[in-house]
Structures are given as structure tokens and as C-alpha cells.
Structure 1
């Protein structure tokens, strides 16, 4: 019944907004995004339309913000939009409005979040996927050079059940095993903080707990996480991780051959 009412309210709002000269580009349970209909010159004021819709559906609708631009992230492995994943630049605001992507996920390491936000800045300034890929490539170089501080690579995941309740050898399981080995009690609902040091392993050596002295990290694992984060930024423009990887491979070739002998064979 709730869903039926929600659909009816959303459709009512959509129809009235379109009649008022606005084109609906996206809508979820509590929000609706519109852009001016280029074929309708007799456009009504959004504030007035929101007031009218509020009176009709008896649920308050407010004009929250005007965006310079907004991008809705498609679902991975699908062209359909992920309804709760989007990012955009609010007009007159220096910050981005971000929902659902890695920078807003509590498990995301600080380094991955910082790179994703840098990519958003590049995209806003240049509107160029190449500029975003330059940012990604620089971050990957830093990872493999070992210059990223391990404190910036800490993942935070919530424990959902006791160690014995897990059937897969996940990173959480490896961290729980390390915690038990150190007589640290971690209960369901609590957080585990760790750095992935060798994701190829399935034992407790796969990770190191954040409080331990950590000498190295799994750069290849974190590179994968970086590519996923940048895919979130570029996927609204039609890029997926396969294309990102292909572009990175093409740009890396000159770097590897740049120091080849250019004189005598």
C-alpha cells in the first residue's frame, strides 16, 4: 500500500511538473530532479509548482537546490540507473552533493575517497574524462611506489555475526581471526579496521589490523578499488572499468619504453 501511494504521488508530481514546462530526468522515493523543457517557453516557477503539488498530494514538496550539473550513476553490469547513486555541483556551492558512491561509503579508505573527490574536481573543471584518468594514473603510481601512508588505506567494516557464523574466507574473517589471535573481543555490530596486505591469501595473513605495525600493503588490491571509484565518476559518461583499463594500458606503454635505447641498436 505504501508503494502504491508513493507511485501515485510521484506520478502526480511528474505530470504537473511536465505540464509546467519542466522535464523530469530522475526520481526516487523522496526526491525528483527536473530540467527546463527546451520545447516549452511558457515555463512555470518551480516554487509555485512545488506549493501546488504539496496541496494536491498533501505531502510537502520543496525546491531544495539548483544544480550546475548532476550525474546519475548507472548500475554496474547494466545500463539502468542506480537510484540512490549520484553526484553533482550545487550552484553557488564549492562542495559536491554526493550520494551512494565510494566517497560516501563508510568502509572506503581515506586514500580512495580523496582520489575520487579529486576526480570530481577535475571533471567539474574540465568536463574531460582524460583529466580524470590522469588523476587515476597518478594515484596508481603513488600506490605502486609505496608512498601512500598505510593509515590512508584502512578499511572499516562492520561485523555482522560471530567468527563461527561465516562460511567464506572474506577479509572480515581474516581480520576476526587476527583479532582473536590477539585476544581482542569483536562482537556483531562493532567495526573492524584493517589494511589489506596480501589479498591473494585466504588466511589471517590477508590483512593486518589497523593498530598493528604495518610495513607494506597490497598495491594491486587497492588499484582495483581505485578503478572502481573512478568508474563511478566516469560511468555516467559511458565509461566502464574495461574501457578505463584499456585506456590506462595504452598510456602506460610509452612510459615503459621511454627509456629504451634511441641511439645505436
Structure 2
């Protein structure tokens, strides 16, 4: 099939017959498309028929940011938006099922490149990524031809903006990209504002997999933030969620800036909880997955020490399982006192206030970094207010 050359790879694929991998994946794609359709039908109050075979929606979610007030006025409901009322349970079931199928597909893609996979082949894995890059570049070029500015792109998503955009123009753009790439383009929503977090290695360079933004319908969407990670304690997750909730009424960067004081006060509130020992141990639990047998670790990381404690007490823990623990004293010379895993945590066990403060500061930095509040500045602020404000009632901050 000389006409079916893989971009950049120098070899071709055959589309005259269907191999075992597409035969297996096709019904999964179709089932997931149907489930996503049910979610949209639920959110929009519609009744959609089951799509016909071969009409799977494995498309690119398109997010169109509107960074300045008045630049974007349209919104199409997100598949994960809306409220269910009496149908909420059904919607949740649909959502969980389509997510499970998504991870099956992701796993199949990864396994395709595994050297010991019975039906895998590295060229097939490379072809998938090559076609993905080509289609993403095609979508980018079409957006720019239509006068949109590309803010970010990653794997299957584009963030673009344009002054005075309207719904008809957006839908035409989606249709054109779908026809050109053969991949269904769907509009996820329009942001009032969106913030991409900087790279950890280069503060001047934003990354596309760590961001948060506010849709026109008042819903926050976030990826890569502390509250979405299982290795972040529930208390820190709760603090960050409350900080983001404060931003739900904002319209633009100016409104966002006006909320900085309120967010900083939340930081002080949770910092005081940690210092006063008012936090339940389960709210300080860190959950991390181990990648090897507990005693096979050569470095005494906190996770390795927690797993070893479980094994030493006769509680089996295997690679791939998660271990939950509380940091007692990360700098202790006695390794056994650095962490305490669940269910071995006792009522008299203390926790490392400094370590949890660092996590709280990091979570706050993610929300306020764009206004100059990095880890250093937040630590200095906490130090000042911790020494000058003796009571909870006085734990308030004001900023210029």
C-alpha cells in the first residue's frame, strides 16, 4: 500500500485488511463513543441514538480560551458538565465506564510498543504517534489559516483564541478540521481565562499538561494540580480546591488579582491547622505506588520505608500496589521514625509539620505563581505572620 506511508517513518501500512489490533479496539471505541454520547445527552437534555458501527468519536477536544473580557461569548456544554438530579447516578455510571474504556485504550497503545508483547510491534507504536503528530499539526495550521492564535497543543487538544469569536465560526472550524484529519473535532468549552503553569526546569516556559481555567459556565477545569494527585494529602487537596473555588466568580485577570488576598488567608488558615495539630491523621495520608518489592529499594525513600514497615509487620505489599503513610519526621536519624504507614498509625503518632507546610505552600504556589507568589515569597509571608500573629482571629493578611 504505497499510498499509505507513515509520516516521518519511511515505511507504509496496509489498509486493505483489518488486523487483530483494530478488530479488538473498534468495539471498545464504539462503546466509549456511545457512552460519551449518553453523557452529552444527559447534560443537554437530549435523546441521542446509538452511533452506527464505524462512527466512533475518538476526537480532539477543542478548548477556546477567552483571556480578555468580551473576546468570547459562546459556550457548548462540556461532556463533564451539568447536574444530574435524579439521573445523576446514571450519568456517573456512564462517566466511569467511558473512563475505564479510555484507560483500556491507553494501555493497548503502550503495550503496542512493549518488546515482549505477543501482538505488539514497535513500528506500529511509532506509526500511531507519527499519525497523531501529523493530525495535530494539520489542526494547528487550519486554526492559524482561520485567524486563530494557537496558545498550546498537546496530544489531542488545542487551546486557541481569537477576538470576537462566535459559535458559528467555531463550529465551522471544528468541521473543517474533522474533514481534513478524519478525526472528529469537538468543542469542550470557552474559558473566561486559563493559566498554564511554568515548567519546573524553566520558569519562563509554560507546560500544556499542568493548567487550570474557568469556563464561561463557572466550572473550573484543572490538570496536573495538587488536588488531582494521590500523593498529595487530603488536607492539602482540600485547601487547593477551596482556593480554586474562590476564583469561580472571576471574569478576567483583574478579578483574579483581587482574589489573591482571600487565597492567602486560606493559606494562613490551613498553615495554622497544621501548626496547632488540629488535623486528623487520615487527612495527612500520602498514597504512593511502589514499583518493586519493599526490600529491593536501594534508596531509603519515604515510600520505601513505609512499604518495608508493612512487610516487617507481616502485611504483604506487592509492586503495583499503593502504600498510604504519614510523614512523622523526615529528617530523623531513626529510619523507623520518618514515616508511619496505615494501618500502623497510632493515636500518639505526631507528624512533620515542616514537610506538610511545604506541600501546602507548593499547592498555593500553583494557584498564585502568575502573580509573583513563588515558594520563597510564600514561605517568607508565613514566617512573618507566624511570629507576629498569636491567635487564629488575627491570622488575616492584606496585600497591595
Which TM-score applies when normalising by structure 2?
A: 0.59
Asked whether 1:16 is paired with 2:142, we answer: yes
Residue in 2 that maps onto 1:262: none
Show the counterpart of 2:381.
247
Unaligned runs of 5+ in 2: 1-8, 10-126, 250-254, 395-400
Q: Distance in 2 between matches of 1:4 and 1:70?
A: 29
Residue 249 (structure 1) shift: 3.4
Aligned residue among 36, 56, 70 for 2:162? 36
| Divergent runs of 4+, >6 A | 41-44
Given the superposition, is the C-alpha separation of residues 214 and 221 from structure 1 closer, same or farther in structure 2, using an over 3 Å criterion?
farther
Distance 2:225 2:167 in 1: 33
Pairs aligned (count): 255
Indicate which of 130, 140, 144 corresponds to 2:275. 144
After the TM superposition, which residues 146-185 of structure 1 pair with which residues of structure 2 at under 5 Å, given as runs?
Answer: 146-185=277-316
Map Cα deviations across residues 89-138 of structure 1 (whole Å, 9 max, x no partner): 22214x42121111111222110100011111224445133322211111
Instruction: Give the alignment partner of residue 193 of structure 1, picking from 324, 327, 331.
Output: 324
Offset, 1:157: 0.8
Distance 1:167 1:232 in 2: 32
Alpha-carbon offset, residue 7 of structure 1: 3.4
Q: 1:169 to 1:68 in 2, by over 3 A?
A: same
Query: 1:204 and 2:343 equivalent?
Result: no
CA distance in 1, matches of 2:320, 2:386: 43
Deviation per CA, 1:122-157, whole angstroms, max 9, x where unpaired? 244451333222111111011000111111111111
2:353 alignment partner in structure 1: 219
Q: Is the 8 A contact 1:133 1:248 kept in 2?
A: no
How far apart, CA to CA, are the structure 2 residues paired with 1:195 and 1:28? 35
Query: Who is 2:209 aligned against?
Result: 84
Verify the 8 A CA contact 1:20 1:43 in the aligned structure 2.
no
Q: Shift in Å at residue 51 of structure 1?
A: 0.6
Q: Give yes or no for contact 2:150–2:159 (8 Å, CA) kept in 1.
A: yes
Pair 254,235 (structure 1): closer, same or farther in 2 beyond 3 Å: same
> Within 5 A, what are the aligned runs for 1:89-168?
89-93=214-218, 95-125=219-249, 127=256, 128-168=259-299
Q: Deviations over 1:176-218 (max 9, x none)?
A: 2211231111111111111111111251221112223243211
Measure how far apart 1:236 and its partner are.
Answer: 3.5
Q: Is the 8 A contact 2:307 2:341 kept in 1?
A: no
What's the offset of the Cα at 1:256?
A: 5.7
**Structure 1, gaps ≥5 residues long:** 260-265
Residue deviations 1:35-72 (CA, integer Å, cap 9, x gap): 2247xx89971111111111111122111112222211
- State the SS of the aligned residue for 2:200: coil
Superposition deviation, residue 254 in structure 1: 3.4
TM-score, normalising length from structure 1? 0.87
- Asked if the contact 1:123/1:132 (under 8 Å) is kept, the reply is no
